């Protein structure tokens, strides 16, 4: 399964907000640190504020921070919500000629559900290794620290 960009950015933002500081973070600061478009991050942040995962404070000195309940959120539920509960395949658009006799959709839906259930075994606070977390607060190069390629 490949997560959509909205989910990818949402997870990155949540992990970034796990940093060990009580300070509010502006969306611009998060966008710069995560190398994500500020416009995209505004949309993701707005959605997460509605979910109650992020607290937003307006005005001078304002910013965003992780809501206390977010630390305990199961990652599978976060991903399912960010993905808008997408199914593995859509047999209706365009209409598939095999949709009435095909068992593949059911198998893929079951696999997707197992994926979410596996992720539910972990909470948001389990999602990031501390060395990477601390390095983000120092504006370090995430690709070098995490030894991953950011697409």
Q: What residue ranges define each of the domains in the chain, with the CATH number in brackets?
A: 5-146 (1.10.10.10)
Residues 80-119 as b or e (16 or more Cβ within 10 Å = b): bbbbeeeebeeeeeeeeeeeeeeeebeeeeeebeeebeeb
pLDDT value at 149 more than 50: no
Q: What is the pTM of this model?
A: 0.78
pLDDT (average), residues 67-85: 93
Instruction: Give pLDDT tens digits for 102-147.
Output: 888 889 999 999 999 999 999 988 876 655 444 555 554 444 444 4
Which residue did the predictor score with more confidence, 22 or 82? 82
Residue 55, both tokens:
């607290």
């Amino acid at each position: 399964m490949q997560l959509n960009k909205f989910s990818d950015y949402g997870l990155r933002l949540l992990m970034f907000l796990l940093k060990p500081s009580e300070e509010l973070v502006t969306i611009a600061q998060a966008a710069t640190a995560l190398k994500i478009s500020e416009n995209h991050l505004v949309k993701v942040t707005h959605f997460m504020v509605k979910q109650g995962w992020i607290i937003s404070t307006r005005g001078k000195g304002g910013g965003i921070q992780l809501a206390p309940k977010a630390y305990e959120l199961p990652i599978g539920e976060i991903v399912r919500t960010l993905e808008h509960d997408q199914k593995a395949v859509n047999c209706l658009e365009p209409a598939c000629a095999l949709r009435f006799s095909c068992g593949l959709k059911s198998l893929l839906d079951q696999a997707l559900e197992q994926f979410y259930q596996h992720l539910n075994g972990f909470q948001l606070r389990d999602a990031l290794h501390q060395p990477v977390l601390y390095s983000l607060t120092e504006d370090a190069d995430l690709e070098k620290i995490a030894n991953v390629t950011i697409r």
